[in-house]
C-alpha cells in the first residue's frame, strides 16, 4: 500500500541522520544549548561523550544545522586513520586544498573550530597532534567519543588541562522516550499510530533497549516492518492501529532480546 501508515511509521526509524527532524527532548536540548553557548568563547578542546548509539552524531549534525555562521566551523564525520590523512582532511575543508595546517594557520582569520566525530577511532598520534593544534589558539576542537575510550591520552595531565568542557549524553528516561517515539511518528505523518502508541507500549520497548536511540530505532523499525507485513498479508489481525503486545514480543525475539 503506497499510503500505508505502518510504512510511514517504519520509515520514521530508518537509521539515518536527518538534522531537520531532530527530536527535541529536555535532555538533549540542554546539551545543544550548551554547545551554542560555548562555540564563540575561547577554548581549546570540548569533549562530547556517551555510550555508542546515544545520539552524539545527531546532536552534532543538528548543531551545525542551527549555526548561522558555518564558515568558522568544519566537521569530520568520517575518521582518518593516519596523521597525514587527518592533515589532508582538515586542511582541504579549511583551505580548499592539501596543506600543512600548522604552516597555513596564519591564513586563518580568527579561529577555526573543528568537530571530530568518533574520536575514539583516532590514534594517539593524531590525538597528540590535535593537542598541538589546539595550543596554537588558531584551532579549537570539539571531540565526540565513546565513554571510557582513549583513557590513556585523556588521563594525561597535559591533555586534560586543555579540555574546557565535557558534555555527557545519557539515554532518555522512560517519559522522554515515549515523547521521542511519538514525535518521530508525527514527523512522518503516522499520526494515528502516534496517538494510539501508549506509554505502556513505549515502556515495553524501553525495557529491552534501555533507551539507547540506535537500538530503539532498530527495534521500532523491526516492529513496524512486521506490522506493515501483516497489514498487507493479514490485515484482520491488526486492530485499530493499536500495537498489540505480541508484535512487540515478536520484534524482541527477532532481534535476540528474547530467546524463543
In this structure, the answer to whether residues 48 and 143 fall within a common structural domain is yes
In this structure, the answer to whether residues 195 and 73 fall within a common structural domain is no
Place of cell 584551532: 139
Q: Which domain holds residue 235?
A: 5-16+173-254
In this structure, the answer to whether residues 245 and 118 fall within a common structural domain is no
In a domain, 260, yes or no: no
In this structure, the answer to whether residues 212 and 108 fall within a common structural domain is no
In this structure, the answer to whether residues 33 and 158 fall within a common structural domain is yes
In this structure, the answer to whether residues 34 and 158 fall within a common structural domain is yes
In a domain, 21, yes or no: no
Residue that is last in its domain, among 147, 168, 189 = 168
Task: Give which of 179, 108, 103, 183 is closest to 138, Cα–Cα.
Answer: 108
User: What pTM value is reported for the model?
Assistant: 0.91
Measured CA to CA, the distance from residue 139 to residue 210 in angstroms comes to 37
How many domains are there within the chain? 2
Measured CA to CA, the distance from residue 192 to residue 176 in angstroms comes to 20
| pLDDT tens for the 260 residues of the chain, in order | 456 888 999 999 998 999 999 999 998 999 999 999 999 999 999 999 999 999 999 999 999 999 987 789 999 999 999 999 999 999 999 999 999 999 999 999 999 999 999 998 999 899 999 999 999 999 999 999 987 665 666 656 667 789 999 999 999 999 999 999 999 999 999 998 999 899 999 999 999 999 999 999 999 999 999 999 888 887 767 766 667 889 999 999 999 999 86
Do residues 245 and 204 touch, judged by C-beta distance below 8 A? yes
In this structure, the answer to whether residues 193 and 105 fall within a common structural domain is no
CA dihedral 63, 64, 68, 70 (to 10 degrees): 150
In this structure, the answer to whether residues 127 and 239 fall within a common structural domain is no
In a domain, 32, yes or no: yes
Sequence-separated (6 or more) residues with CB below 8 Å from residue 21: 184, 187
Amino acid at each position: 500500500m503506497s499510503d500505508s501508515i505502518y510504512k510511514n511509521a517504519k520509515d520514521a526509524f530508518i537509521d539515518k541522520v536527518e538534522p531537520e527532524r531532530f527530536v527535541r527532548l529536555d535532555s538533549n536540548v540542554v546539551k545543544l544549548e550548551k554547545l551554542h553557548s560555548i562555540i564563540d568563547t575561547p577554548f581549546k578542546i570540548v569533549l562530547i561523550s556517551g555510550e555508542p548509539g546515544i545520539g552524539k552524531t545527531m546532536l552534532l549534525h543538528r548543531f551545525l544545522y542551527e549555526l548561522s555562521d558555518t564558515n568558522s566551523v568544519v566537521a569530520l564525520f568520517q575518521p582518518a586513520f593516519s596523521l597525514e590523512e587527518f592533515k589532508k582532511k582538515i586542511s582541504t575543508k579549511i583551505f580548499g586544498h592539501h596543506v600543512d595546517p600548522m604552516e597555513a594557520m596564519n591564513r586563518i582569520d580568527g579561529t577555526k573550530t573543528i568537530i571530530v566525530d568518533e574520536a575514539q577511532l583516532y590514534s594517539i598520534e593524531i590525538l597528540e597532534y590535535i593537542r598541538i593544534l589546539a595550543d596554537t589558539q588558531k584551532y579549537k576542537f570539539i571531540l565526540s567519543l565513546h565513554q571510557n575510550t582513549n583513557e590513556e591520552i585523556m588521563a594525561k595531565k597535559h591533555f586534560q588541562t586543555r579540555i574546557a568542557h565535557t558534555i555527557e549524553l545519557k539515554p532518555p528516561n522512560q517519559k522522554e522516550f515515549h515523547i521521542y517515539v511519538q514525535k518521530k511518528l508525527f514527523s512522518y505523518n503516522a499520526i494515528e499510530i502516534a496517538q494510539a502508541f501508549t506509554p505502556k507500549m513505549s515502556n515495553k520497548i524501553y525495557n529491552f533497549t534501555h533507551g539507547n536511540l540506535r537500538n530503539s530505532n532498530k527495534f521500532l523499525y523491526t516492529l513496524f516492518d512486521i506490522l506493515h507485513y501483516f497489514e498487507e498479508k493479514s490485515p484482520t489481525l491488526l486492530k485499530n492501529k493499536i500495537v498489540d503486545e505480541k508484535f512487540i514480543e515478536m520484534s524482541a525475539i527477532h532481534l535476540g532480546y528474547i530467546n524463543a
